[in-house]
C-alpha cells in the first residue's frame, strides 16, 4: 500500500477499531451470569447488541431524544438481566458498565504510541465522556485528545460528530484521516470531506465493492507505515 500523503491529523474510531467490543461484553455477561454456557452468552450478547443498535438508530432518526451510551448500556444490561433471570442489583449495575472494560486489540496500544510521535492523534467515539475516559484507561489507549459524540448529542454517522473532530484538529478536512474498522463510519467521514482508511478487524464492517477509501490495511502496522513513509 502506498503512503497516504498530506495528512495533518489522524482520527480513530475506538469501539471495534482499537478495542474488541464483543469480547469485552462477553466477559461482562459471563461474570454477571456465571452459569451461562457459551451458547447462552452469545444469545445474551445478541440481546445487548440489538438493543444498542436499535436505540442509537432511533436517536439518529429523530424518533427518540438523545441518550448517552451510559443510559443505553444501562437499558441493554437490564434487558440481558431480564432474559437471564438476573435480579442482583449490584451485578446488573456492574454489567451496565461492561463496555468500559474492553480489551485493546494486540496492535492498538503500541500503534497509537508510535503514530503519536509523528502526528496529532484524536479518538472519536460514540461512547459517553465517562465511558470513554474509563475505557481508555482500562485498555491503555493514549491520545493527544479523545472526543465523545456526547459533546454534540448525536451518534456517528451524524455529520456533527465528525465536524467535532474537524474543529478540534483545526485544519481542513481533506488533511485529516479518519481510521475505522467500519465502512459505515468511514462513509460518514467522507461526507464531511475527511480522508479515510479502513483497518480490518474480526468484528468490523468491511467495505463494499462501491467503497473507495484512501487506504485499506490488515492492521495498524501497515497504516502507520503508510502515514510515515512520506516524511
One domain, residues 118 and 39? no
In the predicted model, what is the mean pLDDT of the chain? 96
Confidence of residue 3 (pLDDT cuts 50, 70, 90): low
Do 43 and 106 belong to one domain?
no
Confidence bin at 229 (pLDDT 50/70/90): confident
Tens-digit pLDDT profile for residues 93-111: 999 999 999 999 999 999 9
Which of the four pLDDT bands, split at 50, 70 and 90, describes residue 4?
confident
Q: 68 and 174: one domain?
A: no
Q: Which residue has the higher pLDDT, 210 or 230?
A: 210
**Residue 141: which residues within 8 A CB-CB, separation 6 or more?**
14, 18, 19, 104, 108, 109, 112, 123, 135
pLDDT digits (tens, 9 = 90+) for 129-184: 999 999 999 999 999 999 999 999 999 999 999 999 999 999 999 999 999 999 99
pLDDT of 1 higher than 50:
no
The percent of residues in the chain predicted with pLDDT above 70, rounded, is 98
What grid cell was written down for 1? 500500500
pLDDT for the residue 33: 98
Same-domain pairing of 41 and 123: no
| Alpha-carbon dihedral angle through residues 56, 59, 63, 64, given to the nearest 10 degrees | 100
Domain of 53: which CATH number? 1.10.150
Residue 41 resides in a domain: yes
Residues 80 and 118 in one domain: no
Residue with cell 434487558: 79
Residue 63 sits in the same domain as residue 91: yes
**Model confidence band, residue 5 (pLDDT cutoffs 50, 70, 90):** confident
162 domain residue, yes or no: yes
Nearest to 68 by CA among 6, 147, 138, 148: 148
Assigned domain for 4 exists: no
Residue 2 forms part of a structural domain: no
Are 163 and 177 within one domain? yes
Q: What is the C-alpha to C-alpha distance for residues 68 and 88, in angstroms, rounded to an integer?
A: 24
Q: Does one domain contain both 88 and 124? A: no
- Cβ neighbour number for residue 36 with a 10 Å cutoff: 17
Give me the mean pLDDT over the 80-101 stretch: 98
Last residue of a domain, one of 72, 100, 128: 100
Containing structural domain, residue 46: 21-100
Query: Per the domain annotation, does 82 fall within a domain?
Result: yes
69-84 and 38-60 helices, crossing angle to 10°: 140
- Geometric angle at alpha carbon 66, from 151 and 157, rounded to 5°: 70
For the chain, what percent of residues have pLDDT higher than 90? 96
| pLDDT range class, residue 230, cuts 50, 70, 90 | low
SS3 179: strand
Please tell me whether residues 25 and 86 are part of one structural domain: yes
**For position 119, which CATH number holds?**
3.40.50.1000
49 shares a domain with 26: yes
Low-confidence winner among 18-22, 41-45, 119-123, 225-229 (lowest mean pLDDT) = 225-229
- Residues 202, 120, single domain; the answer is yes
Q: Which residue has the higher pLDDT, 70 or 4?
A: 70
Q: Are residues 110 and 67 in the same domain?
A: no
Task: Give the count of domains, the chain.
Answer: 2
Predicted local confidence at residue 168, as pLDDT: 98
Q: Mean of the pLDDT values across residues 210-230?
A: 92
Amino acid at each position: 500500500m502506498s503512503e497516504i500523503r498530506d495528512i495533518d491529523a489522524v482520527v480513530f474510531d475506538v469501539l471495534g477499531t482499537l478495542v474488541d467490543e464483543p469480547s469485552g461484553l462477553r466477559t461482562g455477561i459471563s461474570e454477571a451470569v456465571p452459569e451461562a454456557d457459551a451458547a447462552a452468552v452469545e444469545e445474551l450478547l445478541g440481546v445487548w447488541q440489538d438493543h444498542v443498535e436499535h436505540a442509537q438508530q432511533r436517536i439518529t432518526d429523530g424518533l427518540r431524544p438523545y441518550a448517552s451510551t451510559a443510559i443505553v448500556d444501562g437499558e441493554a444490561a437490564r434487558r440481558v438481566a431480564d432474559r437471564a433471570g438476573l435480579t442482583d442489583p449490584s451485578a446488573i449495575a456492574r454489567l451496565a458498565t461492561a463496555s468500559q472494560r474492553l480489551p485493546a486489540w494486540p496492535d492498538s496500544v503500541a500503534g497509537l504510541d508510535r503514530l503519536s510521535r509523528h502526528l496529532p492523534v484524536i479518538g472519536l467515539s460514540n461512547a459517553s465522556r465517562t465511558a470513554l475516559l474509563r475505557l481508555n484507561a482500562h485498555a491503555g489507549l493514549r491520545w493527544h485528545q479523545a472526543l465523545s459524540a456526547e459533546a454534540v448529542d448525536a451518534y456517528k454517522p451524524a455529520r456533527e460528530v465528525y465536524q467535532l473532530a474537524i474543529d478540534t484538529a483545526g485544519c481542513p478536512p481533506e488533511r485529516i484521516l479518519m481510521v475505522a474498522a467500519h465502512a459505515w463510519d468511514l462513509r460518514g467521514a467522507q461526507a464531511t470531506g475527511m480522508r479515510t482508511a479502513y483497518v480490518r478487524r474480526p468484528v468490523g464492517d468491511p467495505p463494499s465493492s462501491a467503497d473507495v477509501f484512501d487506504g485499506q490495511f490488515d492492521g495498524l502496522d501497515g497504516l502507520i507505515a503508510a502515514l510515515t513513509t512520506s516524511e
